[in-house]
Amino acid sequence: MFAICYTALTLTTIAMLALLPSGKRKTVLVFSALFFGLIGFMMTPRANMYTDTVRFFDTFDEVRSFAATGLEDAWRYLMDTCGYNSTPVIGAIMFLISLQPENGFLTLLAATVDIGAGFYLCFKQSNNGMNKRSLIANIQGSAGSCE
């Protein structure tokens, strides 16, 4: 299902870029990146597969259980036990996301930043969106490589 949503959103983005004037192309890319983030938010990894996402989601659940006794306990668990003391910025992001009721905020953030950065590079490569053919080819190439 997610592959169908991903493909449909990619094709819609390419069609909108082809039809809209150059001033609106940046807006299309920003909203497309947000929609890719929403697709990421809805994704939940399968429990029987061991991936980084499953490990992160398990960490979020554990930190949430420690946060019930106190935020300082949750912070210390994340930093000391989980090993995020060497990367405090990532630890802070993990801590803030673990305070949310949904684990999907991690995939929302990751997908939006990842796709948004790719779209930004494609936009800059196409002379700030002025070269429509180059922009569409770059978007198609970058989105097609992820499928």
Secondary structure in 3-state letters for the chain = CHHHHHHHHHHHHHHHHHHCCHHHHHHHHHHHHHHHHHHHHHCCCCCCCCCHHHHHHHHHHHHHHHHCCCHHHHHHHHHHHCCHHHCHHHHHHHHHHHCCCCCHHHHHHHHHHHHHHHHHHHHHHCCCCCCHHHHHHHHHHHHHHHC
Residue 129: pLDDT band (50, 70, 90) is: low
| Rounded percentage of the chain residues whose pLDDT exceeds 90 | 14
> What's the whole-model pTM score?
0.66
Q: What is the dihedral of CA 92, 93, 99, 100, to 10 degrees?
A: 170
Torsion region of 92: left, alpha or beta (phi above 0 gives left; psi -120 to 50 gives alpha): alpha
- Enter the tokens of residue 45: 């990894």
More confidently predicted of 22 and 81: 81
| Average pLDDT value for residue range 113-118 | 84
| Average pLDDT value for residue range 54-63 | 87
What's the confidence (pLDDT) of residue 66? Answer: 92
More confidently predicted of 106 and 78: 78
What's the confidence (pLDDT) of residue 1? Answer: 63
What's the confidence (pLDDT) of residue 143? Answer: 61
